[in-house]
Copies of this chain bind each other. A is one copy, B any other.
Amino acid sequence: MKVKMITRMKMKPSFEIKRQEFIKAFFDNCRVLVDKGLSLLVPAETIEPIKLHQAIRWSLFAGGKRFRPALVLSVGFAFGANENQLLRTACALEMIHTYSLIHDDLPAMDDDDLRRGRETCHKKFDEATAILAGDVLQTLAFQSIAEDESLSFETRARLIGEIARASGTPGGMVAGQVHDLDAESKPITNDELERIHRKKTGALIRASARAGAIIGEANETELNLITQYAENLGLLFQITDDLLDVTATAEDLGKTPGKDAKAEKATYPLLYGFERAETMADEVYKATCDVLEKIDKDTEVLFAIAGFIRYRRS
């Protein structure tokens, strides 16, 4: 992939429409694959304790975009790994993501009733079940990788360490959630906002891309480039997420828009103004693509994912 970025940006309208169609088909394929994998990795609803497994599946199959699994798969494919080697790790990252959503939605945290257009886990079931469903999704995630016979033991251990650091503390998702809760209803600096997102959502996106590269046996240079790509992509994801909270409709989002502003949550449009946040999204998008130019693999899908994030509607 050596198409010059400047060309990409200029031909945006028609080129992007084609690419959005292409990437939507890719995401659809990923979703089917990942849903099938998840369904096999998580106990059936007929197995005791039934309520726990119902709650897990309620949140796991709530129509998520499967963005993190798609990233594992697309990066892994770029480095020559196959579906079979990538699937469990892709599913594990979705389990970690879903556990974090279930716990974030709890009354003691963000207290949300609606997620992906349906009742949150503790609303549909109860708080105790939601806490335990989140707990055990984390467990199942690590179990799925530890028992993945398509990977060497070394790769399994490396992936578990990588994903644990990204979802834990001090540099990972849970630490980011603590910073985020601390920041509510008080003014924060731009640096603090960036720290929240780098840990809360960025770290797991970064780990997803790196996991694909690790399974695909990328060399050190390639792994560094993929890491930069993923860090930019994570930032892009967050800025566009904040922008969507301002512009999107409830139907598009499957959750209440304007919620961040109402909760006085720090967002990019709030801290920088809407126009500047839009420009930042363009700049980060360009930086994301620039890194990909340096990777000598078929990165067409990775370009398309960046475009999809930049121009998404939900």
- Contact status A146-B157, CB under 8 Å: yes
Say yes or no: A135-B132 contact (C-beta < 8 A), given A49-B179, A178-B49, A178-B52.
Answer: no
Q: Whole-angstrom distance from the CB of A134 to the nearest CB of chain B?
A: 7
Smallest CB gap from A161: residue in B:
B146
A160 at the interface (CB under 8 A from B): yes
Nearest neighbor of A169 in chain B, beta-carbon distance: B136
- Cα A213 to Cα B150 in complex, Å, equals 26
Q: Are B169 and A53 in contact (CB under 8 A)?
A: yes
Residues of B within 8 A of A182 (CB): 49, 51
Asked, given contacts A135-B134, A178-B52, whether A127 binds B143 with beta carbons under 8 Å apart, the answer is: no
Q: A52-B174, A174-B52, A178-B51 are in contact. Are A139 and B168 (CB under 8 A)?
A: yes
Tell whether, in the assembled complex, residue A164 and residue B178 are in contact, meaning their CB atoms are under 8 Å apart.
no
From 120 to 171 in chain A, residues with beta carbon under 8 angstroms from any chain B beta carbon are: 126-129, 131-132, 134-136, 138-140, 142-143, 146-147, 152-154, 156-158, 160-161, 164-165, 167-170
Verify B179–A164 contact, CB threshold 8 A.
no
What residues of chain B lie closer than 8 Å to A143, measured between beta carbons?
Answer: 160-161, 164-165, 168
Check: A177 CB closer than 8 A to any chain B CB. Answer: yes
Q: Judge whether A147 and B161 touch: CB under 8 Å.
A: yes
Bound Cα distance from A57 to B131, whole angstroms: 21
A66 at the B interface (CB under 8 A) = no
Q: Which residue of B lies closest to A181 (CB)?
A: B128
Query: Cα distance A106–B109 when bound, in Å?
Result: 14
Which B residue sits closest to A133, measured CB to CB? B174
Contacts of A132 in B (CB 8 A): 103, 174, 177-178
The answer to whether B127 touches A140 (Cβ under 8 A) is no
Bound Cα distance A160, B175 (Å) = 23
Whether the pair B177, A164 counts as a contact (CB closer than 8 A) is no
- 9 tightest A-B contacts by CB? A143-B164, A108-B127, A153-B153, A139-B168, A146-B160, A49-B178, A146-B161, A153-B154, A136-B174
A-B contact pairs, 6 of them (CB 8 A): A103-B135, A106-B131, A143-B168, A146-B157, A156-B156, A157-B157
